[in-house]
Amino acid sequence: MKITVRAFARFREVVGEIQALDLPEGSGIPALLGALASRNDESRDLLFDEQGMIREHIIFMVNRKRVGRSALQTIILAEGDEVAIYPPVAGG
Amino acid sequence: MKITVRAFARFREVVGEIQALDLPEGSGIPALLGALASRNDESRDLLFDEQGMIREHIIFMVNRKRVGRSALQTIILAEGDEVAIYPPVAGG
Amino acid sequence: MITITDEDFDPGACIDAARDPRVGGIVTFTGIVRDDGITSIELETYREAALQELGVIRDEALSRYDIRSVDIIHRVGPLAIGDHIVVITVGAPHRRDAFDACEYIIDRIKETVPIWKKEHTAEGSRWVPGEHS
Amino acid sequence: MITITDEDFDPGACIDAARDPRVGGIVTFTGIVRDDGITSIELETYREAALQELGVIRDEALSRYDIRSVDIIHRVGPLAIGDHIVVITVGAPHRRDAFDACEYIIDRIKETVPIWKKEHTAEGSRWVPGEHS
């Protein structure tokens, strides 16, 4: 299934602004991050800590709705979903 | 001695905007108010209560400095002083 | 700058004047004539004393808060609904000081600056009692 | 009105738009680029999500405070020292609600709206950490 990934700020600089990933049906956020991390060490370091856990400060949106820490492991993505990843905000 | 009296808002409407009073040397605020009150009942009512006490809410300035309640009876006026009387403010 | 004026003024120009490399936040309070069943109002002042008192309030704000600028313009004379009454502009490195100082200044103006407001309605006129009477 | 724009904007026009017979006080917060030893900054946004989030914050403010209007303009793109970043304008019958709502809105913007700031200095560039990271 096709998933659009958008990344912002430092995440954009490392993983790219926007891209279409082709993931197996039933994939969730960890699978998506794994696909991004497999490209190079810099991406892996940005997304996962030394224990292989998703880094604490990453913020996730699926179709422009925030996904909290507790739902990160359980949410299932669907064809056409837009997943955004970004660091803490600093506007205003 | 010549004292200038300035009145504002409702006080201006009753006692007049600006006037030169000629008071005996050594006069204070009570003598000044007495001179204003002697003109008509409306002025008297505005300045003194039924017991003849200076009304609580009147604010006084002498030469643009506030005179507190406690100094009202003791302050001595001098030739050329400008005394302002007015009700609580309502700007802003 | 501290001004008491019979003319309308431009709050946007005050914000523009507060821009400064050391300033990160500008807070502005603009008071306007609200329709409380009135037709118009009239503002009277003891101008010399009011200017002096506004200067005292500005200096208090500058010493109490970490702010870079305070500008106050107060209108007097006859005003219609929607007209500007007052604009207070505070520029500060950080927003919290700008908010606190601006609110402090308008509160103090309503306490001590010799300006009075008369409301005209279809039924007649009345002097507005002060918030601190 | 809620706007995210690459162009400069006019805070004075926002104050003018907030004038209304039911409004007695308008509080405006204008954020500008402060010189913290930087040469310029760059603001990036997830625009669709930021517009949505600004709308949520406006609606929260309108339901929590007795206010009549909320307008927010946020600039993005490259900015120089002194440039406008954001203007928030709140019109209310009484000043206290206008102050509280305006401060609430800027605090919430800094918590949740997807906008990021990169500072450029003579030594290099860095992303500004959020106040709530």
- Output the CA torsion A8→A13→A19→A21 (10° steps): -100
Residue C40 forms contact with D (CB below 8 Å): no
Q: Round to whole Å and give the CA distance between C91 and C22.
A: 9
CA distance A34 to chain D (A): 23
Question: What does each of the 92 residues of chain A score in pLDDT, given as a tens digit?
Answer: 999 999 999 999 999 999 999 999 999 999 999 999 999 999 999 999 999 999 999 999 999 999 998 899 999 999 999 999 999 999 88
Across the interface, whether the CB atoms of C29 and D26 are under 8 A apart is answered yes
pLDDT at residue A66, as a whole number: 95
Element (H, E) at C118: strand C115-121
Across the interface, whether the CB atoms of B92 and C109 are under 8 A apart is answered yes
Q: What is the domain extent for residue B72?
A: 2-86
Question: What does each of the 92 residues of chain B score in pLDDT, given as a tens digit?
Answer: 999 999 999 999 999 999 999 999 999 999 999 999 999 999 999 999 999 999 999 999 999 999 999 999 999 999 999 999 999 999 88
User: Which residue in D53, D36, D125 sits closest to A13, CA to CA?
Assistant: D125
Residue A57 lies in a domain: yes
Across the interface, whether the CB atoms of C131 and B64 are under 8 A apart is answered no
CA angle A59, D120, A44 (to 5 degrees): 35
Q: Round to whole Å and give the CA distance between D89 and C28.
A: 9
pLDDT at residue C131, as a whole number: 77
Residue A91 lies in a domain: no
Instruction: Closest CB to D129: pick one of A6, A90, A91.
Output: A90
Summarize the confidence of residues D88-105 as an average pLDDT.
98
Instruction: Closest CB to D49: pick one of A9, A10, A84.
Output: A84
Say if A and D touch: at least 3 Cβ pairs within 8 Å: yes
Strand-by-strand arrangement of the B18-22 sheet: B18-22, B2-7, B82-86, B59-62, B65-67
Domain at A13, CATH number: 3.10.20.30
Instruction: Closest CB to C19: pick one of D16, D82, D106.
Output: D82
CA distance C21 to chain D (A): 5
Across the interface, whether the CB atoms of C34 and D15 are under 8 A apart is answered no
Rg (CA), chain B: 12
Question: What is the tally of structural domains in chain B?
Answer: 1
Residue B92 lies in a domain: no
ipTM score for this prediction: 0.93
Predicted TM-score (pTM) of this structure: 0.94
Summarize the confidence of residues D41-67 as an average pLDDT.
98
Distances in Å between the Cα of C76 and the Cα atoms of B15, C88, D43 are: 21, 15, 42
| Band of residue D131 on the pLDDT scale cut at 50, 70, 90 | confident
CA distance B8 to chain C (A): 7
pLDDT at residue D133, as a whole number: 58
Residue A92 lies in a domain: no
Residue with tokens 């009105």: D1
Across the interface, whether the CB atoms of A92 and D116 are under 8 A apart is answered no
Query: B8 contacts in C (CB within 8 Å)?
Result: 44-46, 114, 116
Question: What does each of the 133 residues of chain C score in pLDDT, given as a tens digit?
Answer: 999 999 999 999 999 999 999 999 999 999 999 999 999 999 999 999 999 999 999 999 999 999 999 999 999 999 999 999 999 999 999 999 999 999 999 999 999 999 999 999 999 999 998 876 5
Residue B37 lies in a domain: yes
Residue B62 lies in a domain: yes
